């Protein structure tokens, strides 16, 4: 059982949510993970999750007004509450992911970075493929923990 799965299940039980972000292909994976947590993937448990990668009007407004480096950090500052889970994904130590991580950590969110150090792969594509496999596992484990707890 991965610690991220445990933290997501615990956040759900407390009434908290997950905030997730990534750039490029990992932007799509953030939205994919949101769908897995909030949809019927694996179990009929619906875990609140916000992908910070959209809507596009918000992203472009924030990029224009405060700079692209801060588009995710600003949303973490706005949406994040103590006890939420933050997941930032990057294959290149993206400044906007790192900035969001620091804001999340400062607000006492359970903060995780998924990157080349945590997911193996020889190429960016391989790392991204391994990230989505990992996120599928995390979603299933988190939902299983929620079900197990409800049965007890």
Q: What is the pLDDT of residue 54?
A: 85
Q: What is the pLDDT of residue 147?
A: 86
In tens, the pLDDT along 5-35 reads 999 999 999 999 999 999 999 999 999 999 9
Residue 69: pLDDT over 50? yes
- Residues of the chain with pLDDT > 70, as a percent, come to 97
In tens, the pLDDT along 106-144 reads 999 999 999 999 999 999 999 999 999 999 999 999 999
Number of domains the chain is built from: 1
Return the CATH number at 12.
Answer: 3.40.50.10490
H helix intervals, 80-123: 95-106
Q: How far apart are CA 113 and CA 111, in angstroms?
A: 7
Residue 38: pLDDT over 50? yes
Domain that holds residue 66: 3-151
Residue 151: pLDDT over 60? no
């Amino acid at each position: 059982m991965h610690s991220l799965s445990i933290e997501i299940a615990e956040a759900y039980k407390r009434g908290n949510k997950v905030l997730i972000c990534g750039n490029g292909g990992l932007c799509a994976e953030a939205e994919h993970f949101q769908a897995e947590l909030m949809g019927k993937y694996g179990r009929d448990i619906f875990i609140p999750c916000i992908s910070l990668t959209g809507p596009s009007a918000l992203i472009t407004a924030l990029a224009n007004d405060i700079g692209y480096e801060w588009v995710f950090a600003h949303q973490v500052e706005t949406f994040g509450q103590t006890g939420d889970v933050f997941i930032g994904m990057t294959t290149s130590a993206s400044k906007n992911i790192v900035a969001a991580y620091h804001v999340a950590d400062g607000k006492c969110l359970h903060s995780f970075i998924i990157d080349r150090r945590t997911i193996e792969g020889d190429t960016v594509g391989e790392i991204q493929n391994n990230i989505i496999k990992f996120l599928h596992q995390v979603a299933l484990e988190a939902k299983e923990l929620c079900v197990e707890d409800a049965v007890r």
